[in-house]
A and B are shown apart, each in its own frame.
Chain A
Amino acid sequence: MRVCKSPPWRVTSSSDRPSAVAGPSIDLSEDQIERYSRHILLPEVGGEGQWKLLQSKALLIGAGGLGSPAGLYLAAAGVGTIGVVDSDTVDLSNLQRQVLHCTPRLGQPKCLSAKQTMEDLNPDVHVIPYHERLTSENILGIIADYDVVLDGSDNFPTRYLVNDACVMSHKPLCHAGILRFEGQVTTIVPGEGPCYRCLYPEPPPPGLVPSCQEAGILGVTAGVVGLIQATEALKLILGIGQPLIGRLLLYGALDASFREVRVPRHADCAVCGDSPTITELIDYQEFCGLRP
C-alpha cells in the first residue's frame, strides 16, 4: 500500500483516526469504485484518497459565480459534506455563470438550489444549506465543523470577516476573487503562510473597486477561477501537490495569462502576525467602509 507522507499543511479531517496499517480503513461500495474510478486510478489519489474525500467537509461561502463551479466539482469529486452559505435567491442575471442554478429555480434560495444540484449529481454528498448572511456573530459556529473553507463571496466586508475567522480558527481557506476578465486565487493556511490581510491589509473604501454587478464579469472567467479554487481545496484534503500558500495566482482571460506573485507572511500582520492587533471579528459597514 502506498504510504503518504503528510505535508505540514495537510487538512486534518475530523474522521482521521490512527490505524495499525498505513492509512485509514477504506470502505468503498462497488458503485463508488466505479463512480470514482478515474480518481482511484491516480497514484496520488487511490482508494485511500477517495476515502479521505468522502470523509471530508468543505464549506462554500457563496453559491454564485465561484461557488457554482467549485461546488459542482467538489460534489463530483465526492467531498462527503459540503456546506453552502448564501442568503440570496436565484436571479435571472445569475444564470450567465452560476451553473449550480437554473431557470426553473428563479426566486429560490441559492443554498437550496445548490443543494439540489449537488446532491442530484452525487448522492454520496450531503449538502448543508445556510440561508443566512455571515456576521461576526455566526461565522465561528458555522466554520467550526468544516475542514476547509472556500471564499466565493461577493463583497469585501465578508471576505475580511472570513479571513479573520479562519485565521483565528486555524481553518485552511481557499480564497478567490473575480472581476471582468480577471481573477485572483490564493490558499491561506494559518501558521503556514500569509493571510488575506498580509496581501491587502485593509478593505478598499467603497467605490474604489467595482463589483461584478457594476463592472461585469465574463461568465467563463468565474468558471476557470472557481475551479482553480476547488482544485486547491482538493489538494489540501488529499495532501498532494503544492497549494498556493504564499503565492497569489493572477488569471487574465483576454490574454490567457497566468501570472504568479510571491506573497510573504508579514510578521506585523494585524491578524496573523506575531502580535495581532485584530483579535475580535469585525463587521465592516459596507457602505462606509468603516468599523461600526
Chain B
Amino acid sequence: MTTTQAEMVTVRVFGALRQAIGRSEVQLPYADETVRGTLLRLAADSDAEISGFIFDKQGNVWRSLMLLVNDEPVENALQQATRPGDVICLLLPVAGG
C-alpha cells in the first residue's frame, strides 16, 4: 500500500447509492473520526444529494442500510474509529425481481 493509499478511507457503495453518486467508490482523506463521521463527511462533500440515502430526517442512519467495515459486519460500526486504509461498505437492499 502506498503512503497515499494508507492515508485514505474508501467508501464503497452499491445499488441506489452507486447510481446517485455515479461511481462505485469514493476515497476520502483519512481523518481521526468515527465511521459515522466519515459518512457525514461523505454526504457533505458529495456533489450528489446522497444524505437522504444514508440518514433519516433525525440524522440517524437508516436501519435498512447495511454497514460493513473492511467487508466485515461490525457491532456498533457507526461508533467505531476509522483507520487509514479502511474500506466502509454501504449496502441498501434491492427489491427488483
A-side residues, CB < 8 A to B, are 62, 64-67, 151-156, 159, 176-180, 182-184, 199-205, 208-212, 215, 217, 222, 248, 250, 252, 259, 261-264
Knowing A203-B64, A262-B73 touch, does A182 contact B97 (C-beta < 8 A)? no
- Return A133 CB to nearest CB of chain B, in Å: 14
Say yes or no: B19 contacts A184, CB within 8 Å: no
**Residues of chain B from 13 to 32 with CB closer than 8 A to chain A in the complex:** 14-16, 18-19, 24
Say yes or no: A204 contacts B97, CB within 8 Å: no
Say yes or no: B97 contacts A209, CB within 8 Å: no
What count of chain B residues pass the 8 Å CB interface test?
26
Question: What are 19 inter-chain pairs, A to B, with CB distance below 8 A?
Answer: A62-B97, A153-B95, A155-B95, A177-B93, A178-B97, A180-B19, A182-B14, A182-B15, A184-B91, A202-B63, A205-B64, A208-B53, A208-B62, A209-B15, A210-B16, A212-B96, A222-B96, A248-B91, A261-B89
Report the bound CA distance from A20 to B64 in whole Å.
50
**Per-residue A-contact encoding for B85-97, CB less than 8 Å = 1, 0 else:** 0000101111111
Say yes or no: B97 contacts A250, CB within 8 Å: no
Say yes or no: B92 contacts A208, CB within 8 Å: yes
- Return A2 CB to nearest CB of chain B, in Å: 36
**Which of A179, A202, A261 has a CB less than 8 Å from the CB of B94?**
A179
| B48 within 8 Å of A (CB atoms) | no
**Which of B19, B72, B91, B95 has a CB less than 8 Å from the CB of A156?**
B95
**Residues of chain B from 41 to 97 with CB closer than 8 A to chain A in the complex:** 52-53, 56, 62-66, 68, 71-73, 89, 91-97
